[in-house]
Chain A
């Protein structure tokens, strides 16, 4: 065993270690900055830790009473409490809809026979090839004409009914599950919807949970479309609020501590998911390239 620990192997471990540090260090620095007194940002810039951590930056970006004053010319404050709520509403709406409508379609594609089924399925997959910018302009105009700018309805509309990835993902799982149980239920007179809802779906609890996690992370991180149609404070999600808060600063130095506190608020839910469901997330992502 000791003979095996040769030089190339040591270099290999060193490379992996450096890579892990590079992956995590920026996130760590964001956290460190978030707990720094605004007046100490420059003096502590080079250190990896602050001696007197404060939590007031989190409180002040959340619009709560805080003992940490915002730095001078930090622009008008954005209430990230509202942005967090908006992100939760947006993500919740979008993912619930996507799970329901996509699983319904996936079930039909996997189990039911109807003319044009395969052509329709492939047209779903083909839709993923269209660059988002091509769709954003007409979709923006449509949402504007419907009077849905700055509403959650307008923000979730384009993707809530159909997400080709989710349909594809769930169809595979339905196909790889034996259908005897469902056939027996059909013979007992259960409607197709009841078979789907009471038998087929519960059997896919694991894949559905994995999909829910992946879709939630994706929805939580959405930027471009919400940026186009959801700019008002009462609907703007975290990513949009962060971009707006940053762009307010113009030429001067941004409110680093507040900005990084808000950044951490938007990262923490994702990191919690990663801590609790790390294996599930890693394993589902790594097979996404295998088809």
Chain B
């Protein structure tokens, strides 16, 4: 019995001979069977729809009458559609409000926590907003920012600033939405940076201190460069995510007031699901797709994502 098992192992290891081949074929077949459900999911709900979206974008389909092939007309229309470019501009502005502040705050909190508050309790508190949904975050801040009963205005008047209208003002709505998103994400960003800080060898700092390096020099020369992999992850995922802001807008401003928060996803949503312009909406989504790929590649390039500083 033992003898036969050993022979089997040898054969399987060598993967040679008729017996080994059969085993290997069986293993391969099992492998395909195991990934089959996931593969069906990948093809049916990711690969096929991507191709279909590209196809639909070349038609004038509106769910009512059969689709007509109209070539690149949707893309021409999109090029001339001021509302689309407005929505892209609003989205870009949103990203600019959102990302630098969120990243900087996250980094500061992570550095402070690394020095002063290493307990899990602190980290659990700061990721609480991240664990609740965008919808709930939007609603909770709808209450906090309400001009009549919101606590934010109470606080502002307390320190001598006149009450603001926040989400109901065309000038402040986008900033307010960005603020809500920062509130929800900054703790998670801090958590990622915190983990990154933990992985930096402490003796680097000791050596630098012996050489007389100042705190800020150590931050610039050791901390920031060694945090780069985490920084790349944080920036790439949060930028791509911010360009797709939708949920908070859906429960707070719905694109208003005066279209001031009509971000690109909201505009695509309106076209596809309120006006059934499936062809035109698909064309916009394809443009956004290509744009996001370019943004991601550009970021990887700028951040030298392929290089490492440690080791």
Contact = CB atoms under 8 A, between A and B. Distances in A.
Interface of A: 9, 12-13, 15-16, 19-20, 22-27, 29-30, 33, 41-42, 45-46, 101-102, 104-105, 107-109, 112-115, 117, 120, 123-124, 127, 129-142, 157-162, 167, 183, 187, 192-193, 196, 217, 220-224, 227-228, 239, 242-243, 246-247, 253-254, 256, 259-260, 263, 266-267, 270-271, 273-274, 278-279, 281-283, 285-291
A239 B135 contact: yes
Interface of B: 5, 8-9, 24, 27-32, 34-35, 37-42, 44-50, 52-53, 56, 63, 108-109, 112-113, 115-117, 120-136, 139-144, 148-151, 154, 183, 187-188, 191-192, 194-196, 199, 229-230, 233-234, 240, 244, 246-247, 250-251, 254, 265, 268-269, 272-273, 278, 281-282, 285-286, 288-289, 292-293, 296
A130 B42 contact: no
B191 A282 contact: yes
A75 to B, nearest CB: 15
Given A105-B34, A161-B45, A281-B124, A29 B289 contact: no
Contact of B254 (A26, A247, A288): A247
Nearest to B187: A23
A263 B28 contact: no
13 contacts: A13-B117, A20-B122, A26-B143, A131-B288, A133-B269, A133-B288, A162-B46, A217-B131, A242-B136, A274-B131, A279-B124, A282-B123, A289-B192
B149 A286 contact: no
A267 B128 CA distance: 10
A160 B140 CA distance: 30
Given A134-B50, A137-B53, A221-B132, 7 more contacts: A46-B151, A130-B50, A137-B282, A161-B42, A223-B247, A282-B127, A290-B195
A127 B268 contact: no
Given A137-B272, A278-B121, A290-B195, A101 B288 contact: no
Task: Give the 4 A-B CB pairs with smallest separation, nearest first.
Answer: A161-B41, A162-B41, A221-B133, A114-B31
A237 to B, nearest CB: 10
A242 B192 contact: no
Contacts of B50: 130, 134-135, 138
Nearest to B145: A26
Contact of A242 (B108, B135, B293): B135
A23 B140 contact: no
B15 to A, nearest CB: 9
B52 A285 contact: no
A256 to B, nearest CB: 6
B35 A108 contact: yes
B289 A130 contact: yes
Given A124-B38, A137-B282, A266 B133 contact: yes
A159 B288 CA distance: 22
Contacts of B244: 131-133
A30 B40 CA distance: 42
A263 B285 contact: no
Contacts of A192: 27, 30, 34
A151 B29 CA distance: 34
A108 B31 contact: yes
